[in-house]
Amino acid sequence: MGLDFEQYTKSLSDICIQIGAKPENLKLSPVIRVPGEDDTVMNAKMKTHMTNAKARMGKLLTSMHRKRSRSDGDHNAVLIVLDDLANEEDIEWFQFLRDGKGEQVNDLLVTSRLSEVREAVTIRVTPLETREAIKLFTTESDLPSNHPISKNHVTRSIVKKCMSHPLTIKFAGR
């Protein structure tokens, strides 16, 4: 199991805040461990709580979609970004269903270092040449490409630690 209940509920609360909903609307209750309880039992309790939280999130997104559809007439799907996914099984926790059981009501964008992710369109991003990587870093830092920082050994080190990966460099440059 990748995510635990605490991580999952924190993620759901963050999503609620970002879409303008109150996390309290999900009515999340804590998972309480009984002294001496077996890990298998505790994991089953966490999974049940997470399943219930996922269904409530689906219902919340469905109700928000209905309100928006009435007011502006178009589909305002929620895009959820799972950045640097470490465990493929975590994807299912963020595929929220209409009213908790129908079709999916949100879109997902997943970035991962995993070589393959099932049921995903894979876009492989090749590392940049060092010169290109430094140019991207300075541009993302709101500096001109000929800025003295582009010749600095620290910049080369940052780009190297980012493994010349464009998205990582963009993030580091900001």
Same domain for 68 and 134, yes or no, is: no
Higher pLDDT, 165 or 69: 165
Strand partners, 78: 106
Within the chain, what is the greatest distance between any pair of CA atoms? 63
Same domain for 106 and 134, yes or no, is: no
Domain residues for the domain of 153 are: 130-173
Same domain for 89 and 147, yes or no, is: no
Lowest pLDDT segment from 24-38, 64-78, 116-130: 64-78
Tell me which residue has tokens 């040449």: 129
121 belongs to a structural domain: no
**Mean pLDDT to the nearest integer, 29-47:** 90
Same domain for 58 and 105, yes or no, is: yes
What is the pTM for the complete model shown?
0.68
Residue 66 pLDDT > 50, yes or no?
yes
Same domain for 107 and 31, yes or no, is: yes
| Joined tokens for residue 52 | 């219930």
119 belongs to a structural domain: no
Strand partners, 110: 82
Residue 73 pLDDT > 70, yes or no?
no
**Mean pLDDT to the nearest integer, 118-146:** 85
Same domain for 134 and 104, yes or no, is: no
Q: What whole-number distance in Å separates Cα of residue 164 and Cα of residue 28?
A: 41
Higher pLDDT, 75 or 78: 78
123 belongs to a structural domain: no
Question: Do 72 and 30 touch, CB atoms closer than 8 A?
Answer: no
Work out the burial of residue 118: count CB atoms within 10 Å of its CB; fewer than 13 is exposed, 13-18 middle, 19 or more buried.
exposed
Domain count, the chain: 2
Identify the helix (H) or strand (E) that includes residue 11. helix 5-18
Residue 76 pLDDT > 50, yes or no?
no
